[in-house]
A = this chain, B = another copy of it.
Amino acid sequence: MQIQQNIKVAVDAVVFGYNENKLQVLLIQQKFGLEKDNWALPGGFVKDDETLDEAVVRELKEETSVKANYLEQLYTFGKLDRDKRRRVVSIAYLALLNTKDFTIRADTDAKDVQWFDFDKIPALAFDHKDILMMAYKRLQAKINYQPIGFELLKNEFPFSAIENLYQTILNKKIDRRNFRKKLLSFGFIEETEKIHKPSSGRPAKLFKFNQKKYNELIKTGIHFEIKFA
């Protein structure tokens, strides 16, 4: 049986980074083609012999040379005129990584790659603004009940870093004492020996997220909810 269908399948990724208390997004700029000069989410067509997950990982590597710390499927966009040249259904992903871990570089297709502060995103190609906003909402919702915020930080971090991260992403003030108490009470964040010297003020212990501990806790059916007034 032959199926008449002329739809192409693509993947796109909203890659969030975090740098100097700013949430950032990784974008690429087409130097040629129909969408020349337009910034867009990294992504591309899925190959016949790769899964969707593999496709995003590949595209991210090829286009931006980064490797996500965390990657989850977000939503599939399928409006008819998303792409004016042809019908494209795109599976969008949400990716998190620590900005400092990578030197981004434009790939051979002469694309430009750049981090943008989330509050200074330029006009985007296609329906990528919609995708971005959905990813942001998912991120906001998800850090409240899953410890994915750590994927945006270095392996070891002062407590104030995770605290600022939550405030930045949720865009609201959080009581430092209550936040710390609650987060530590879960038991998946551990103190290290190391200390961090801030540019001024009292030195801080470094903490790290213990993934194994977290997995164990999850298995026991414990349910986290990191919400703050």
| Cβ contact within 8 Å between B48 and A76 | no
Query: Within the oligomer, what is the number of copies of this chain?
Result: 2
Known: A76-B52, A89-B52, A91-B76. A47 touches B5 (CB 8 A): yes
Collect the chain B residues with CB atoms within 8 Å of residue A75's CB. Answer: 73
| Cβ contact within 8 Å between B80 and A49 | yes
| Cβ contact within 8 Å between A51 and B73 | no
Q: Is A46 an interface residue (CB 8 A)?
A: yes
- Majority secondary structure, A binding face: loop
Q: Is A79 an interface residue (CB 8 A)?
A: yes
Contact partner of A78 (CB less than 8 A), chosen from B4, B5, B8, B91, is: B91
Task: Give A4's nearest chain B residue, CB to CB.
Answer: B48
| Cβ contact within 8 Å between B5 and A48 | yes
**Max count, chain B CB within 10 A of own CB: residue among A4, A8, A50, A89:** A89
| Cβ contact within 8 Å between B51 and A80 | yes
Q: Is A116 an interface residue (CB 8 A)?
A: no
| Cβ contact within 8 Å between A76 and B79 | no
Q: Is A115 an interface residue (CB 8 A)?
A: no
Q: Is A217 an interface residue (CB 8 A)?
A: no
**Max count, chain B CB within 10 A of own CB: residue among A3, A49, A52:** A3
Q: Which residues of A contact B (CB under 8 A)?
A: 1, 3-9, 33, 45-53, 73, 75-76, 78-80, 86-87, 89, 91
